[in-house]
Amino acid sequence: MTVSSLTNVGLSSSDTNAASSSSSNQLAQNFDTFLTLLTTQLQNQDPTSPMESDKFTDQLSQFAQVEQGIQSNKNLEDLISMQSQQRQLSALSYVGAEIEAVGDTNWLEEDGELKYKYNVSPEVPRLELQIQDQSGATIYSEELTDVSGLQTFTWDGKNNSGVEQAEGAYTLVLKPKAANGDTFADEKGKPASVAIGIIGSVDSVDIDDTDIYLRIGDVSVPFSTLTNVKLGASSTDTTDNGSGNNDAQDEAA
C-alpha cells in the first residue's frame, strides 16, 4: 500500500524556477563584472597598442547566447509546469470512476467486497489463492484447479469461517502449485509467472512531485499503473496506453 501526501505539491516547479532565477542572477553578476573589467581595460590601455575590438565583441556575444539559453530553459520549464497542472486537473475527473490497475492490495469497506484480476502461466495445474491482511496473516484461502487464462476473483470480505472482516487493506497472494502440491516450476526450474490487478472505485486524488495517486479508501494507486477506467458519468471504458506499462500489467487488466 502506497501512502502519499499533498504537502509537496508544487515543489518541483518551484525548485526549477528557482534554479533558473539563480542562473539568471549569476549571469547578470558575471556580466556586470565583465563590463567593469572591460571599462577599466579600455581606460587604461596603451594608446599605441589598443585592444582588439573583436575579442570583447566575441565575449559580449557569448554572454548574450548564454542569456538566451537560460531564458529558453525557463520557458520550457514553465511549459512543463503548465502541462503538469493540466494533468493534475484531469486526474480529478477520475473521482467516482471504476478503475483497474496493476497491484495486489485493495481496500475493503464495511460490509463490502473486493475485486481482483489475475493471470498465471497456462501450464500451472493448481493454484492456492490467499487473502492476507496488513499484518500478513492469511484471512481466507482456497485452492483452484481451473486457472488458465485471465481470471476475475471477488472476495466477499469473510474469512473461511464466514466471519465478516474489518474495514482495511487486504492483499491477494497467489501460489502456483504442481500436480503433487509442491510449488510449481517449469521444465527449466523457473517459477510460474503471475500478474495481479485490482478493481475499485476512486474516492480521492493525491498529487506529489513524482506521480498522481488515485485513492481507493486508504490504498493509493499510482496513476501510471492504470490499465482501464470506467468513468462514472459516461460509463465509457478507456485504456491507459501512455503509461509505459509492461506485458504483465496488460495481462492483469
Q: Has this prediction a pTM greater than 0.75?
A: no
The pLDDT, as a whole number, for residue 3 is: 35
Residue 243 CA to residue 196 CA, distance in Å, equals 17
| CATH class of domain segment(s) 98-252 | mainly beta
Cβ within 8 Å of residue 47, ≥6 positions away: none
Torsions phi, psi for 67 (to 5 deg): -60, -40
Beta strand pairing call for 212-216 and 219-222: antiparallel
pLDDT by position in tens, the chain (length 253): 443 322 223 333 444 455 556 666 676 676 677 667 667 766 777 777 766 666 667 766 776 777 777 777 777 877 767 766 677 677 788 888 999 999 999 999 999 999 999 999 889 999 999 999 999 999 999 999 888 789 999 999 999 999 999 999 999 999 999 988 899 988 888 999 999 999 999 999 887 767 789 999 999 999 889 999 887 544 444 454 444 444 444 444 4
52: DSSP letter: P
- DSSP run (H or E) holding 222: strand 219-222
Q: Which of 131, 239, 252, 244 is nearest to 193 (CA)?
A: 252
Beta strand pairing call for 105-108 and 98-102: unpaired
The pLDDT, as a whole number, for residue 52 is: 65
Q: Where are the domains of the chain?
A: 11-94, 98-252
